[in-house]
């Protein structure tokens, strides 16, 4: 009955946010207490929600149950597929009120705004280098710790970034998801497609500061 009436009888005693189900309140309270009762049995990472643990475990198994019906690309989480679909539809709901640039991801807008403010709030406590994104700092710290949390289930090779593991897996699967819209040649990495496109556009962005000669790569 509560889902029909919209009643939310379970209220957080810290911030007063209300919930329909008691279990949702229990999970929410952990954002205040910092409690993380669900632990990954592979890497030991602790999480506040059981559903997040389920999604996290797919990092280790490389399970990607959510598939795009346009290009066939697969994702660990449903929300990642939802965001990806905007690359096909062109939807960009989130706009910068300074320069008007639009984004398909809500999280991309706060990161973009830091460019206008020149803000780099995340600093490395080892070398002092600063970053606009918390995730960028997390990845950077691995250059100091040597941590490589993303492992290939085929050959065991480990990587500091999830994207690097994704690229590496294509050496096993042969997948080439990045296709040139001019000649239809396909590539395993987005960067390889970017470089290839310059053979069509003639762009040479890298210049020698001695003789001025320019290069594509």
Four-way CATH pick for 178-215: 3.40.50.1370, 3.50.50.60, 3.30.160.60, 3.30.930.10 = 3.30.160.60
How confident is the model over 36-79, as pLDDT tens digits? 888 888 888 888 888 888 888 888 887 888 888 888 888 888 88
What is the helix (H) or strand (E) element at residue 164, kind and residue range? helix 162-173
User: CA 150, CA 142: separation in Å to the nearest integer?
Assistant: 12
| Burial status of residue 150 (CB atoms within 10 A of its CB: 0-12, 13-18, 19 or more) | buried
Q: Using an 8 Å Cβ cutoff, are 166 and 183 in contact?
A: no
Q: Is 198 helix (H, G, I), strand (E, B) or coil?
A: helix
pLDDT tens sequence across 16-34: 889 988 888 988 888 888 8
Structure tokens at 136: 């960028």
Q: Domain segments of the chain: what residues? A: 1-35, 178-215
Nearest-5° angle of CA 46, CA 52, CA 55?
A: 110
Domains 1-35 and 178-215 share a fold: yes
DSSP 171: H
Contacts of 175 (CB under 8 A, 6+ apart): 169, 188
What pLDDT score does 5 carry?
62
Q: 120 by DSSP, 3-state: which?
A: coil
The alpha carbon torsion through 70, 75, 79, 82 (nearest 10 deg) reads: -10
Q: Find tokens 């310059």 and name the residue.
A: 198
pTM: 0.46
Four-way CATH pick for 1-35: 3.30.160.60, 3.30.390.50, 3.40.50.720, 3.20.20.70: 3.30.160.60
């Amino acid at each position: 009955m509560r889902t029909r009436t919209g009643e939310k009888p379970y209220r957080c005693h810290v911030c007063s946010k209300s919930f329909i189900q008691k279990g949702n309140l229990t999970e929410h309270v952990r954002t205040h207490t910092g409690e993380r009762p669900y632990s990954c049995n592979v890497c030991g990472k602790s999480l506040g929600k059981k559903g997040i643990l389920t999604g996290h475990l797919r990092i280790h198994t490389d399970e990607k149950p959510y598939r795009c019906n346009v290009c066939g690309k697969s994702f660990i989480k449903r929300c990642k597929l939802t965001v990806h679909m905007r690359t096909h539809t062109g939807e960009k709901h989130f706009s910068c009120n300074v320069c008007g640039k639009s984004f398909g991801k809500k999280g991309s807008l706060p990161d973009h705004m830091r460019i206008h403010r020149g803000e780099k709030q995340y600093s490395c406590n080892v070398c002092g280098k600063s970053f606009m994104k918390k995730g960028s700092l997390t990845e950077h710290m691995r250059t100091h710790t040597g941590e490589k949390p993303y492992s290939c289930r085929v050959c065991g090779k480990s990587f500091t970034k999830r994207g690097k593991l994704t690229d590496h897996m294509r050496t096993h699967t042969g997948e080439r998801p990045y296709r040139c819209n001019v000649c239809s040649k396909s590539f395993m990495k987005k960067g390889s497609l970017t470089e290839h496109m310059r053979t069509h556009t003639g762009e040479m962005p890298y210049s020698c500061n001695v003789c001025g000669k320019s290069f594509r790569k």
